[in-house]
Structure 1
């Protein structure tokens, strides 16, 4: 019996010695051993089971997203850019677009749907532009921008269209007046703006004259084309800056020194034109009327009473209307 317990004690002692040796071996890893959970040898790499607070981690680098990379390419700033940076970037876009403009002031208006920077620039003596940093850059002058904004507001007074805001770009009327003088308009201009675009794709501007008929002017490849507002009205359009009284006053100056000089013109109508001349009907306040034939310089070539002009453009219609 005593021998039996000795054998059991020996087995237990041996087991304890093996366990102690195994624990010691686990705490001091040899080749190919690591300390795992519970101190057991588990594999080929060492690691720590201590957990850290993920909110305490410091991010040192982030791979840029596709949008980030696109914005960086398009001149999108991750901070407020300096004045010099905006001017330099805007000048670069203007140069790329081959627009003759020395940028003296520029502002970063924002970004378009493609995350491309949009700038407004002023060019010193001329009209400024809105420039989009696309490839190639898009460039729109502030007169056109103002014309589009005006049309948008007339269609919807609650609209918020893009407008140029730099002080040098706000004098739209003055800039169009410069165009008008270049085109040969000699009246005292009191209002001016962009009217729209012609069928040929050219910009058309309206010029209002103080006390006289105004014009639509169009910059074509061959030069400026002038259309008196009385003619514009005959084309189912209307000049916003010219009244009927101003048109009548202009026709009175045409008829001065002719057989129709005594006509107190109250209304006028463009009748049509042939290869060299244009024809206008003038209604007289005292009754009756005349048809005047004018050349391209708006100089009167002939005046006929309405009674003698039945074969011209369908004859007089204003004089027959005594309203």
Structure 2
């Protein structure tokens, strides 16, 4: 699992866009108490005539449905416009001769100044009355389900713009889009939990405690799936592209990591802390060492029951998409022998490290050389007692048979042994020379086995 990194993007401390426009050049619409500001007909006519070409030149994703001319600063050579778009999010534009138009989303341009008053680029067109709704298609494209309750602009850099959305129910997200904003560009939507509080990219519309309320929902789902925990404490660990991970400590001293599907928010599985070392460094709120010791003893019993006596000293979890199956690498105390175990609720199968590789698994705790004696013994069964195995590698497998190339310590050409797959303790059933095995996985490749000519 690879955690997604927290972002540290250098953004402006404030989005005081209105200061770009001298007050004297703004054609401020007249407002009536309790009513939205009226849009001057001439301003709208000028906007619809000039703004569509400008918005197209900017690269923003907008099919103009309405527009208005805001004003002009002849001294600076700048004109100001507002546009409403069929796509949802509207924009404010600053157009200067011989330069690309500057574009700000209505969420940015409509933010009040420090004195609480609206700035000169605040959006007032009817189509821009709810600019936050324009984020909905971006959130959907990012693969997240969110009934948007509140929004705000975080800031924009040279390449990306950042927005926060708060959803009904307490969850929240940071939406990263291209700058200028365009629905056809890349969109990334991450949980607010991914960002440090107080950072330049962080959430303010929801608090962390509210965000962590999702853990209670996951805990209910975990109980329904057979894992009971009276939560003592909880924390967010990390997110990947497909999953979120949370740790819970329980009143009885146990602890788990809850895996949540990022796109749907659904509970995926509960991972005991003893098995969760692969998730962001594992559990920190429970005694993981004690849990691992207890789990090692448990795996020793399961391995013995499966016909593989092993006093487990160390174990490591291997990934599996089957929640009813555990795949575990085992290292046995006072022994060079290791294994890969596949445990289910009804039993298990334990493969020694050579057999495991024939079945698609690979040991990391045990060296290949520990299997040489076993291979040497298997060669004796084919009347090749003169070969003491000095090197070996798995060269290929079919659905029913796997093949191991061996080299001999006397430097003479070695052999290829075939073993049935899916069997915990397979006996070699086939014996080939390297010449005969040329068509299997590219043939022999160990130095002393390479076929000349």
Q: TM-score, normalised by structure 1?
A: 0.56
Provide the C-alpha distance between the structure 2 equivalents of 1:258 and 1:98, rounded to a whole number of angstroms. Answer: 47
1:163 corresponds, among 99, 115, 122, to: 122
Structure 2: stretches of 5+ with no match in the other structure: 1-25, 28-39, 179-183, 288-453
Question: Aligned in 2, Cα 1:112/1:233: closer, same or farther, shift over 3 Å?
Answer: farther
Instruction: Supply the RMSD in Å over aligned alpha carbons.
Output: 4.1
Change in 2 beyond 3 A, CA 1:166/1:109 = farther
Q: For 1:11-22, list aligned pairs within 5 A.
A: none
Aligned to 1:191: 150
Using the alignment, how far apart are the partners of 2:281 and 2:257 within structure 1?
11
- Offset at residue 183 of structure 1 (A): 2.7
The corresponding residue for 1:203 is 161
Structure of higher RCO (CA pairs closer than 8 Å, 6+ residues apart): 2
Find 1:282's aligned residue among 226, 248, 251: 248
Cα deviation, 1:42-76, whole Å, max 9, x if unaligned, reads xxxxxxxxxxxxxxxxxxxxxxxxxxxxxxxxxx9
1:87 aligns with 2:48: yes
Q: Could you say which residue in structure 1 is the equivalent of 2:95?
A: 133
Q: Which residue of 2 aligns with 1:20?
A: none
Change over 3 Å in CA distance of 1:115–1:194 after alignment to 2: same
SS at match of 2:82: strand
Is 1:303 matched up with 2:303?
A: no
The equivalent residue for 1:239 is: 203
Contact 2:175 2:190 in 1 (8 A): yes
- 1:96, distance to aligned residue in structure 2 (A): 4.5
1:216 aligns with 2:174: yes
* Equivalent residue, structure 1, for 2:37: none
Separation in structure 1 between the aligned mates of residue 133 and residue 172 of structure 2, nearest angstrom: 15
Q: C-alpha distance in 2, partners of 1:113/1:267?
A: 61
Q: Aligned residue pairs: how many?
A: 237
Residue 230 of structure 1 contacts residue 268 of structure 1 at CA under 8 Å; is this kept in 2? Answer: no
Does the C-alpha gap of structure 1 residues 317 and 145 become closer, same or farther in structure 2, counting only changes over 3 Å?
same
Closer, same or farther: CA 284–229 of 1 in aligned 2, 3 Å: farther
Q: Which digits, 9 at most, give the CA deviation of each residue in 1:175-213, with x for residues without a partner?
A: 123422343322332112222347x83212212122232
Contact kept, 8 Å, 2:106 with 2:122, in 1: the verdict is no
Q: Which has the higher strand share?
A: 2
Q: Is residue 228 of structure 2 the alignment partner of residue 269 of structure 1?
A: no
The structure whose residues are more often helix, as a share, is 1
Pair 275,252 (structure 1): closer, same or farther in 2 beyond 3 Å: same
Equivalent in the alignment of 2:308: none
Determine the structure 2 residue equivalent to 1:50.
none
What are the within-5 Å matches in structure 2 for residues 22-101 of structure 1? 82-83=42-43, 84-97=45-58, 100-101=62-63
> Within 2, Cα distance between the matches of 1:112 and 1:264?
68
In the alignment, structure 1 residue 254 sits paired with structure 2 residue 214? no
CA distance in 1, matches of 2:42, 2:196: 50
Please state whether the residue corresponding to 2:90 is helix, strand or coil. Answer: strand
Deviation string 1:64-123 (CA, Å, 9 cap, x unpaired) is: xxxxxxxxxxxx99xx99342343133343354465433523132332752322111223
Show the counterpart of 1:71.
none
| Distance (Å, rounded) in 2 between the aligned partners of 1:191 and 1:113 | 39
Structure 1 gaps of 5+ residues are 1-75
- TM-score normalised to structure 2 length: 0.42
User: Are 1:247 and 1:267, in contact at CA under 8 Å, matched by a contact in 2?
Assistant: no
